[in-house]
Amino acid sequence: MSMRSASIVLGLLLVVGGGVAWFNLSKSQAPLEPTPAAQAQAQSFDPNRALLENERNTIEVVQRTGDGVVFVAVRSAPASRDLGFFAPFFQPQPQEGTGSGFVIDQEGHILTNYHVIEGADQITVRFHNDPKSYPARVVGRAEPLDMALIRVQAPREKLKPMRLADSDQVRVGQKAIAMGNPFGLEFTVTEGIVSAIRRNPNDGSASGKGAFVPTVIQTDAAINPGNSGGPLLNSRGEVIGINTFIYSTTGVFGGQAQSAGIGFAIPINLAKQYLADLKAGKDITAEEIIRSRPRLGITLSLLPMNQYPENIRRQNRLPETGLMIQQVERGGPAERAGLRSATRSVQLQLRSGQVIELGVNGDVLLEADGNPITNINDLRAVLLSKKPGEAVVLKVWRDGQTREVRVVPQIIR
């Protein structure tokens, strides 16, 4: 619009019921004349000189790698319901959803989150600057890691693989670039830093999505619903993580949480560990992950100490926190380290009516590498972060006293 225009048009973007509406607000105004200083500045403006080094880096990363990010659309058949008399009058609608992913090789393999494609009967993929949708199919799934591998049927020239970084080298404070399709808005880029590398705050249940992701990369780069499955990159344009979930207390947009500057990504090194199995078409279960990972060889009580009846704790000189070791596997790392299981137990009836056995004289696990143990996920997070042959230091309660025990987890077949 010319500065000599007789009116100024203001564009106001409003969110209405999850949609987007534009309102044009116009009012008459006399033509505006630029000052001599403004005219001189406009004539000498050099866009390349105006860009900061960080801006040039972000633009270069986006231009070089952006075509490797894809828009993932899924469609699921509606759940069947017995509507009785009303059945002829209702047509159940299919469920649809969108997410993100990124190309990892010239064979058409695309990494994304499991929750993006969960339950999908039909998957299509769109590439950056290409309106055409290409069919894709699931190759391998890993629900406990919230990862999935799909393969798209598309021309080879469309496939722009992204380079995978070594996420063990990621440092807090370094630049982070998130790419994806938030709220269905295709190809969106946000930028921030790596805010933290921390234990997964969303480790879920023993077999749920993400339960076996011990550590996540936290970033303040804006991540919203639809970004799931997209890449988090470093300043070299390498993928350091898979954008997966957010923390939000600021309200909702279309019924979904909005970014509050706290987003999380699965470190890409975890994905690399399982890529061969995913490409081979495996559905990786929690049981398989447990068997393939070093462990201590112990079975812990279902109830933490703080849920034991107080009279039982007092009679058996038990602590108020921690988990009782119910069993120790013969010949395993825990037995060799001298850990003791319970040989006496009491029965406790839960409110649900279930009756469980509670050990009362075994070692009570209090901490692992200084981290308090309040449930099985606390211990799992520590063990999953260990490298092969690396020991874990356990703080245990025995006969009214605490002691430290050093154990090297091992794969137990």
Whether 167 is catalytic? no
What would the two tokens of residue 301 be?
């009580």
CA-CA-CA-CA torsion for 363, 369, 372, 378, nearest 10 degrees? -90
State the Cα–Cα distance between residues 301 and 286, nearest whole angstrom: 19
Paired strand residues for 117: none
User: How many angstroms separate the CA atoms of 185 and 191, rounded?
Assistant: 16
Contact 185, 167 (CB under 8 A): no
Tokens 């499991």, residue?
114
Catalytic residue of the set 100, 109, 115, 167: 115
Distance, in Å, from the CA atom of 299 to the CA atom of 287, rounded to the nearest integer, reads 15
**In angstroms, rounded to a whole number, what is the distance separating the alpha carbons of residues 276 and 271?**
10
Catalytic residue status for 115: yes
Given 67, 100, 109, 146, the catalytic residue: 146
Structure tokens at 386: 């260990």
* Cβ atoms of 324 and 358 closer than 8 Å: yes
Structure tokens at 33: 């004349």
130 assigned to active site: no
Report DSSP letters for 254-306, one per residue. TTEEPP-SEEEEEEHHHHHHHHHHHHTT-B--HHHHHHHS-B--EEE-SS-GG
Length of the chain: 413
Residue of 195, 228, 248, 259 with catalytic role: 228
Longest dimension (CA), the chain: 92
Classified as helix, coil or strand, 397 is strand
Please report, in angstroms and rounded to a whole number, the separation of the first and last CA atoms in the chain. 72
Quick one: tokens of 393?
Answer: 């230091």
Residues classed as catalytic: 115, 146, 228
